[in-house]
Chain A
């Protein structure tokens, strides 16, 4: 049996390396993509454009504008004259936030009985930057008000002060979150693509029938197809892990061996899905489009974009059968939090069960697929 599987694996590798372009893609593109995405998501976000509609034209209003402009997230870019102008700026996306300072601003500051007011209008068509800009502006205005009070000797310490300690990532470095997730996602894509195409290509080119009449059992066929995908995924993972560690200085605080072992488990579970797709699809085009759909669904349920804990019970249950969801918890746990098997065993067990189940279905499904 070993010999037969070995021959099949050899054949797969010859096929793969004969197409040198494909080999180059598989080895270089994931690394390039990781570098690009890490730089894109980890670098400082450009400050959101702020338009100031200043009806007050006073020293205080200019100080307020300066207080907004020094914030990293905000970038005062234009001074429209009318409300219509500022409307147009929001419409065209040239400004995300409009700060409206009313004419009676200074009067309100000087009068003890009155509260100065500032109006903020935000372009909420993209929610995340909108709420960030809003929060940042509110904070800047509150600080400005506190400074102003301090200047007039009104300062008192707040009754409750908050002191923050950030664990695992003291500088709030976004790369710490995105780079491990991207490593996981790219390994996910590569293994799924390689595994899902294998059988579909044989079927489309008519060579599956030849394989079927060969003295190969179904299990051997699936294993032979899975091994190249496993090796490619593992090599890509090692390449990207070294880029993450040496290029982007992401720490590995837990055990490297544990990470490698669980990554292999993840790749195996993922290959199970790949082979299943490969068995269902009639042509490579179908296999690829299936992969595309699966990749998007998996990404949504992975906890990368939306926290899984926020979902209702039914959707949280779906997330449990997505290996990528478990793997994301694992890679983040091992790399950033340095946790061991005692915290991760449930995720590892879940991946093992998924892999076994899907793999069995894939092998069983193969017999029905040649008709």
Chain B
């Protein structure tokens, strides 16, 4: 392997990236741009529950009850409804997440010391939001009950005093946990670009020129990899700047450790994408494969939003996916202030996946015409 030829290939690939403003934007700036859009949206995810009220009681106490639920802004009253038909319409139009029905005689039952029943009708179509909303509401209703007790009816069952602290993300903000996780998704782009660069040569026929050129297969592959790894690292730095300066996500680890582990991730994800590129001869198929086997699973089964499922196949795939490990790494470096030593397990898996994939793709690669 000659370094000079390697650099020549990398140089050629760089020209491809820089030559056209659109490609340049897509390879280097788009990841940071995506981070801004995606994270910006997540910064508004405050978990507010939109609630409709059907107050059949209409007493000062029932109004006080509603006010106590909405006091801190977790619940917002979006509508007051009169009949059951209206409830159906609210759910059909997605206006409310749940409807709280306060029956006749609510205040009387509370005054008499018996238990008053309120009903909550929740839209189960979005099961995750629905179960969270019900849990939250139950807590509020209990708190209201406790405040009634404190006011005089007396004899309250003594609860425990639960003090909770959230480490690494004290206010449990979505943004803080999503931005480092998103890094893994947006840094899939260099891998995608590499797969396309490899298949483009085959499709446009310029691969035939390379066959007769005095360049070895290894030099050709590594040269391409080098070009996209460098531009990928550049876009990682840009994304890091956006995360820390714009979104002010705490960065408690070391910058060098971050760069090192990012390079590790890029090698692993690019290794997988060059294996995929080996099997296909046009860019459309390469794109389709990468979207389906790489990008979408990275989004949904890597633990970005919901934790990895308790399902053998899903677990196995999550383990091979580089994004799973890089999400752990990013959250570790950004929020927990960990270094490569504490993250050795994820880093090693990435390294192994990367090397195995690179060796497979070098083994499969044939510098000849089919």
Contact = CB atoms under 8 A, between A and B. Distances in A.
**A in complex with B:** yes
Interface of A: 19, 21-22, 25-26, 29-30, 32-33, 36-37, 39-41, 43-46, 48, 90-93, 115-132, 134-135, 137-139, 141-142, 144-146, 149, 154-170, 172-174, 176-177, 185, 189-190, 193-194, 197, 201, 204-205, 281-286, 288-293, 295-297, 299-301, 305-307, 309-312, 315, 329, 332-333, 336-337, 339, 343
B42 interface: yes
A21 B122 contact: no
Contacts of A157: 114-115
A169 B127 contact: yes
A337 B128 CA distance: 16
A162 B137 contact: yes
Contacts of B338: 91
A36 to B, nearest CB: 7
A162 B181 contact: no
Interface in B298-325: 299-301, 303, 305-311, 313-314, 317-318
| Top 9 closest pairs, chain A to chain B, by CB | A169-B124, A40-B314, A124-B169, A124-B166, A289-B26, A46-B310, A120-B164, A117-B161, A343-B92
B92 A333 contact: yes
Interface residues of B, number: 131
B283 interface: yes
A294 B128 CA distance: 26
Contacts of A288: 192, 196, 283, 287
Contacts of A93: 328, 332
Contacts of B174: 127
B313 A310 contact: no
Given A160-B144, A288-B196, A115 B135 contact: no
B328 A41 contact: no
A48 B336 CA distance: 18
B356 interface: no
A205 B123 CA distance: 52
Nearest to B164: A120
Contacts of B139: 135, 138
Contacts of A339: 92
B313 A39 contact: yes
A131 B305 CA distance: 12
A126 B170 contact: no
A117 B288 contact: no
Contact of B123 (A139, A145, A167): A167
B311 A146 contact: no
Contacts of A290: 26
A285 B157 contact: no
A92 B130 CA distance: 31
Given A36-B301, A165-B119, A286-B20, A124 B172 contact: yes
A43 B129 contact: no
Contacts of B310: 43-46
A296 B34 contact: yes
Interface in B329-348: 331-332, 335-336, 338, 342
Contacts of A145: 157-160
B116 A37 contact: no
Contacts of B193: 285, 289
B168 A123 contact: yes
Interface string B139-176: 10110110011000101111111111111111011101
23 contacts: A21-B280, A22-B288, A36-B313, A40-B308, A40-B309, A40-B318, A46-B310, A115-B159, A120-B164, A120-B165, A149-B157, A154-B158, A162-B137, A167-B121, A177-B125, A281-B22, A285-B193, A285-B196, A288-B196, A293-B26, A297-B37, A310-B44, A310-B45
Given A127-B173, A159-B145, A177-B128, A142 B33 contact: no
A297 B121 CA distance: 33
B321 to A, nearest CB: 11
Given A92-B342, A289-B193, A336 B125 contact: yes
Contact of A126 (B185, B288, B289, B331): B331
Contact of A306 (B41, B124, B169, B296): B41
Nearest to B121: A165
Contact of B291 (A159, A166, A193): A193
Contact of A25 (B46, B113, B142, B288): B288
Nearest to A343: B92
Interface string B20-53: 1011001100100110011011101111101000
Contact of B161 (A116, A131, A204): A116
A169 B23 contact: no
B217 interface: no
A335 B288 CA distance: 28
Contact of A115 (B44, B158, B280): B158
B280 to A, nearest CB: 6
Given A115-B160, A117-B163, A126 B307 contact: yes
A288 B196 CA distance: 9
B285 interface: yes
Contact of A122 (B34, B41, B167): B167
Contacts of B92: 333, 337, 339, 343
A154 B285 CA distance: 69
